[in-house]
């Protein structure tokens, strides 16, 4: 890191930073700052005495220009829902909040694009698309508060990635403010544009270390005319992988959701999640939430019924129920989206957001579960996730009655055991949440050294003074 970098802005610079956004949008009081210094699970506590809330791309540019000239560090923040600590100012850095950049600039139904500013909350983008008869398919449990800027900067995945792609695949164009305050205008709606290097993707997944995304053009899709949602009990992850392949081969619609959940996490959801009820009468070791979408308005339900009946005959499915109403569909998804918060009342949870080839998911889960329980007897793996993307949230809850801090103190030790198994299957230690602070030390152990060197070169070229989100990712 650059030696001359100031983590906290120098006191004499404060008025100059404040002047850019005006007093009203420069937050200095501790009470308003407090929720921006801590992340949802309380794993990280940061500190800062200034948060700037620019209202335009020009204001973002002026802030970065001054920060760069004065070598002042800046931590970008959207909805503060990130799970790897990337949005937290750890050393008094200035917080650059993008939430006032909240305009939906255009919905172009004919081109199937939506142009939004970085601070637009994901759910608002979804609703704007829906109002124009289109679908914006990115969907996360945090969609009521995360922002498009955060989604692109973390290259978020979520439950729709199986059919529609991860955030990167949904980006058509971007507007980015560079570390020195220059604005790169690539807000095109073009699918085809071979005018040299495709620079937009450098900023997607960069977690605010290479530039500030201020706006984006995103892909829209036709809204499906029929959607069926089933909650399925099954014997094993191996059955789930077979079921996924069967669904993709057999149903004429598209499999737009396929979420795997262990019974353990369902227990947490029923115990701690507001409004959750078990959709099936008996208990099963594993569950899948299946969503199938079609452009045909008739016949999908019958197809899903036949497909599930076949799957029962083949021993892949033990029991299943297809949502009979929109309310029931919502209840199934509500339960899925509560899975992050229902882990909290069970004490400490050591997380692994990992991916392996889809075919390796069953062996990975079996081996990682056995290894973690051998390391900490009584610990409770509660894996769930986007199995169609090979992305498992291999989360481990503390043994019942154990000391939370003592359990969490073993975070790295547990990670090492699980990551070793991930690597054995040629997987990734960060599937969709990013690196942030949490996985910075692990990244250097697993990334190809040439790729890592190139990442450092990019960082030096785009941010020579190291002002953008220092200490994150690299």
Q: Which residue's CB is nearer to ligand FAD, number 232 or number 468?
A: 468
CA distance 343 to 347: 7
Per CB under 6 A, which of residues 281..340 are in contact with ligand FAD? 340
- Strands in 64-124 per DSSP E: 74-77, 94-97, 104-108, 113-117
CA atoms within 13 A on the CB side of 320: 28
Give the closest residue to 301 by CA, choosing from 351, 225, 227, 379.
Answer: 227
Per CB under 6 A, which of residues 114..153 are in contact with ligand FAD? 118, 140-142, 146-147, 149-151, 153
Q: Is 92 in the site for ligand 2HG (CB under 6 A)?
A: no
Sheet with 226-234: strands ordered across? 319-322, 226-234, 286-294, 254-262, 384-386, 391-393, 353-355
Q: Is 339 in the site for ligand 2HG (CB under 6 A)?
A: yes
CA distance 100 to 81: 17
Site residue total, ligand FAD (CB under 6 A) = 37
Per CB under 6 A, which of residues 197..216 are in contact with ligand FAD? 207-208, 212-213
Q: Is 181 in the site for ligand FAD (CB under 6 A)?
A: no
- Helix, strand or coil for residue 263? helix
CA distance 31 to 49: 11
Among 80, 256, 343, 369, binds ligand FAD (CB under 6 A): 80
Q: Is 87 in the site for ligand FAD (CB under 6 A)?
A: yes
CB of 93 to ligand FAD, least distance (A): 10
Q: Is 430 in the site for ligand 2HG (CB under 6 A)?
A: no
CA distance 239 to 370: 19
CA distance 89 to 143: 23
Q: Is 340 in the site for ligand 2HG (CB under 6 A)?
A: yes
Identify what 40 binds: ligand 2HG, ligand FAD, none; CB under 5 to 8 Å per kind: ligand FAD
Q: Which residue's CB is nearer to ligand FAD, number 150 or number 253?
A: 150
Q: First CA to last CA across the chain, in angstroms?
A: 10
CB of 337 to ligand 2HG, least distance (A): 7
Q: Which residue's CB is nearer to ligand FAD, number 224 or number 436?
A: 436
Q: Is 269 in the site for ligand FAD (CB under 6 A)?
A: no
Q: Which residue's CB is nearer to ligand FAD, number 233 or number 434?
A: 434
Per CB under 6 A, which of residues 400..439 are in contact with ligand FAD? 432-433, 436
């Amino acid at each position: 890191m650059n030696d001359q970098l100031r983590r906290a802005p120098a006191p004499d610079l404060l008025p100059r930073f404040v002047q850019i956004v005006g007093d009203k949008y420069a937050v200095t009081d501790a009470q308003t700052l407090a929720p921006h210094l801590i992340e949802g699970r309380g794993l990280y506590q940061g500190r800062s005495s200034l948060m700037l809330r620019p209202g335009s791309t020009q204001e973002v540019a002026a802030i970065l220009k001054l920060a760069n000239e004065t070598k002042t560090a800046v931590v970008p923040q959207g909805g503060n829902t990130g799970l790897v600590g990337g949005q937290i100012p750890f050393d008094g850095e200035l917080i650059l909040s993008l939430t006032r950049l909240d305009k939906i600039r255009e919905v172009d139904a004919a081109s199937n694009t939506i142009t939004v500013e970085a601070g637009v909350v994901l759910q608002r983008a979804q609703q704007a698309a829906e109002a124009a008869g289109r679908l914006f398919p990115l969907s996360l449990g945090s969609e009521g508060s995360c922002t498009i800027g955060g989604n692109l900067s973390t290259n978020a995945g979520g439950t729709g990635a199986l059919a529609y792609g991860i955030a990167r695949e949904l980006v058509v164009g971007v507007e980015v403010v560079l570390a020195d305050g220059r604005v790169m205008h690539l807000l095109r709606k073009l699918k085809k544009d071979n005018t040299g290097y495709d620079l937009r993707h450098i900023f997607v997944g960069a977690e605010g270390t290479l530039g500030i995304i201020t706006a984006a053009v995103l892909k829209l899709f036709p809204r499906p005319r029929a959607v069926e949602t089933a909650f399925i009990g099954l014997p094993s992850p191996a059955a789930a992988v077979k079921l996924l392949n069967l669904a993709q081969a057999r149903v004429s619609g598209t499999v737009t959701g396929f979420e795997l959940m262990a019974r353990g996490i369902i227990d947490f959801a029923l115990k701690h999640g507001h409004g959750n009820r078990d959709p099936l009468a008996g208990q099963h070791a594993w569950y899948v939430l299946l969503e199938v979408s079609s452009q045909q308005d008739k016949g999908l339900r019958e197809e899903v019924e036949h497909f599930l009946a076949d799957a029962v005959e083949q021993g892949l499915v033990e029991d299943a129920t297809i949502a009979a109403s929109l309310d029931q569909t919502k209840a199934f998804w509500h339960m899925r989206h509560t899975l992050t918060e229902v882990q909290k009342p069970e004490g400490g949870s050591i997380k692994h957001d990992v991916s392996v080839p889809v075919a390796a998911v069953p062996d990975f889960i079996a081996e990682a579960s056995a290894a973690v329980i051998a390391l900490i007897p009584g610990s409770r793996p509660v894996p769930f996730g986007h199995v169609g993307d090979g992305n498992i949230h291999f989360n481990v809850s503390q043994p019942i009655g154990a000391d939370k801090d003592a359990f969490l103190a073993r975070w790295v030790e547990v990670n090492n055991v699980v990551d070793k198994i991930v690597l054995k299957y040629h997987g990734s230690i960060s599937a969709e949440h990013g690196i942030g602070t949490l996985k910075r030390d692990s990244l250097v152990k697993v990334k190809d050294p040439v790729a890592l060197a190139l990442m450092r070169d990019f960082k030096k070229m785009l941010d020579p003074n190291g002002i953008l989100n220092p200490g994150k990712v690299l």
